[in-house]
Amino acid sequence: MCGTCGCADPANEVSMTNPETGVKTILNAALGHGENQSHDHEHDHHHEGDDKPHMHGPKGEIIPLEAAILGKNDKIAAQNRGWFEGRDVTALNIVSSPGSGKTTLLETTIKMLKGEIDLTVIEGDQMTANDADRIREAGAKAIQINTGAGCHLEADMVASAAKAIDPKPGSLLMIENVGNLVCPAMFDLGEKMKVAVISTTEGEDKPTKYPHMFRAVEMVIINKMDLAAHVDFDEAACRANIAEVNPNAEIYCVSAKTGDGMEAWCARLRELAIKP
């Protein structure tokens, strides 16, 4: 095993656990180097600190770069942020697993804020324009981005969609990301904040299963509270799990379907919207 390329790193291990027997099987052989297979690199890995100063001349030279790999996305996201601020638009990046009720939450929100705050929606899905149609029927302007095989929205997609939808000053721009609790955590879209939606039917432990995402958000909405009793949802346990990975997250318990708890969420949105 090699300690430098990550194949020996337990944090990067892909494993299968049988909950009945407790037996854990390592599955990362296909992508990594396999178990018990020592592999010699033909080159030395250089670690921070152990080879400074560099003893290389013009031959075999090493140049330091510090180039951000997501730099291109981050740059466009920063442009988006300026674009939103310049137009007094508050953009929220809404993330969740598929089926937690993001679109229903937006439909109810649009109806409750109608006549008060203008709301526009960028819908991200791999395929179909179903969600954008639903938003339009609820009474707001919407644009659908289909990412095809892509698992998340990127800043350049939002830049194009935002220009096309042309949100009004003082409005809220809701960016409904592709249903996925993994990749969207990495990609800044230029939003003011990320909001995670989880639903009671998903269980209480989503935040601890997907800590990267729940660490990246500022608000968590627990949706489908009307079903909580039917699925033995433990709200206190869910709140504790959120607090474990993100103690500062604001939490709203709602039922987008019945409207319960939606007033507190809408009141928060009224605060976030910029008064023109």
Using the rule CB under 8 A, is 23 a contact of other proteins? Answer: no
What distance in Å separates the CA atoms of residue 72 and residue 85, rounded to the nearest whole number?
Answer: 20
* Residue 152 within binding range of other proteins, rule CB under 8 A: yes
Q: Does 11 bind other proteins (CB under 8 A)?
A: yes
Task: Please choose, out of 25-33, 95-103, 111-119, 254-262, the segment that lies near other proteins by the rule CB under 8 A.
Answer: 25-33
Peptide bond into 19 cis (omega under 30): no
What is the spatial distance between Cα 80 and Cα 97, in angstroms, rounded to a whole number?
25
Q: Are 97 and 202 in contact (CB under 8 A)?
A: yes
8-state DSSP, 274: P
DSSP secondary structure, 147-172, as one string: -TT-SS--HHHHHHHHHHH-PPTT-E
Size of residue set near other proteins by CB under 8 A: 41
Residue closer to other proteins, measured from CB, 4 or 208: 4
Q: Does position 6 bind other proteins by CB under 8 A?
A: yes
Site for other proteins in 55-114 (CB under 8 A): 58-72
Residue 14 vs 237, nearer CB to other proteins = 14
Binding mask 111-150 for other proteins (x = CB under 8 A): ----------------------------------------
* Continuous H helices in 128-261: 130-138, 155-165, 206-209, 211-216, 235-245
What count of residues does the chain have?
276
Smaller CB separation from other proteins, 68 or 231? 68
Question: Which residues fall within 8 angstroms of residue 31, CB to CB, at 6 or more apart?
Answer: 14
Residues 200-229 that bind other proteins (CB under 8 A): 212, 215
- Answer yes or no whether residue 28 interacts with other proteins by CB under 8 A: yes
Q: Is 14 near other proteins (CB under 8 A)?
A: yes
Segment 159 to 188, residues that bind other proteins, using CB under 8 A: 182-183, 185-187
Q: Tell me, what DSSP letter sits at residue 245?
A: H
183 vs 269: CA distance, rounded Å: 26
Please identify, using beta-carbon distances, which residue of 16 and 69 lies nearer to other proteins.
69
The rounded distance, in Å, linking the Cα atoms of 220 and 165 is 26
How near is the Cβ of 255 to other proteins at its closest, in Å? 31
Work out whether 232 is an interface residue with other proteins (CB under 8 A): no
Residues that bind other proteins (CB under 8 A): 4-7, 9, 11-12, 14, 28, 31-32, 41, 43, 45-48, 58-72, 151-152, 182-183, 185-187, 212, 215
